Amino acid sequence: MKTLILIRHAKSDWGDLSAPDYDRTLNHRGLHDAPVMGRRLAEQTLVPDLFTASSAVRARMSAELMAEAMGYPEAQLHWRDELYLAEPSTMLDIIRKTPETVNSLALLAHNPGMTGLVERLTSERFDHMPTAGVVTLKAEIAHWREAGRRWQLHCFDYPEHLQ
């Protein structure tokens, strides 16, 4: 059994329109929501064995805040440049290359790729993954290279759901 925790970065700041997209930070809501969702994962005992995230600034900030809130060692976060605005196929390639010793993987990235990945893995219509949204999937697979098979939706959570 493998567990896949798919996370969209928290709400980003659009205040400086001249800033490159890659360098956008989190806004006030994002700074609040990321640790809330990290604590929520910890409460559900969904702290991953491996946490991999896009290297974009807003994704890094989200991952760091979530990791701290869930008790995941920040020094063990893995940054992947190729997750920045990645297509579902790129994300799936990364998942398939996950070490076999890992039973639960958290992947934090961007839309629309994240929403597309959920649809691809579950074959369910999934309209939109909100910022700081978390989708947890489970599959009866022994190896990550089998990740292209069907996954079962275990949980879908997002900050507004908690209010």
SS3 for 45-78 is CCCCCEEEEECCHHHHHHHHHHHHHHCCCHHHCE
What are the pLDDT digits (tens) for 75-93?
999 999 999 999 999 999 9
Return the CATH class of domain 2-162: alpha beta
Q: List the pLDDT tens digit at each of the 163 positions of the chain.
A: 999 999 999 999 988 888 899 999 999 999 999 999 999 999 999 999 999 999 999 999 999 999 999 999 999 999 999 999 999 999 999 999 999 999 999 999 999 999 999 999 998 888 889 999 999 999 999 999 999 988 999 999 999 876 5
- At 110, phi and psi to the nearest 5? -125, 160
pTM (two decimals): 0.95
Q: What is the pLDDT of residue 162?
A: 63
24 annotated among ligand-binding-site residues? no
Domain edges within the chain = 2-162
Residues 6 or more apart whose CB falls under 8 angstroms from that of 145 comprise 96, 97
Residues 121 and 62: their CA atoms lie apart, in Å, by 24
Q: What is the pLDDT of residue 18?
A: 84
Q: What is the pLDDT of residue 159?
A: 93
Q: Measured at the alpha carbon of residue 52, what is the angle toward residues 16 and 126, in degrees to the nearest 5?
A: 75
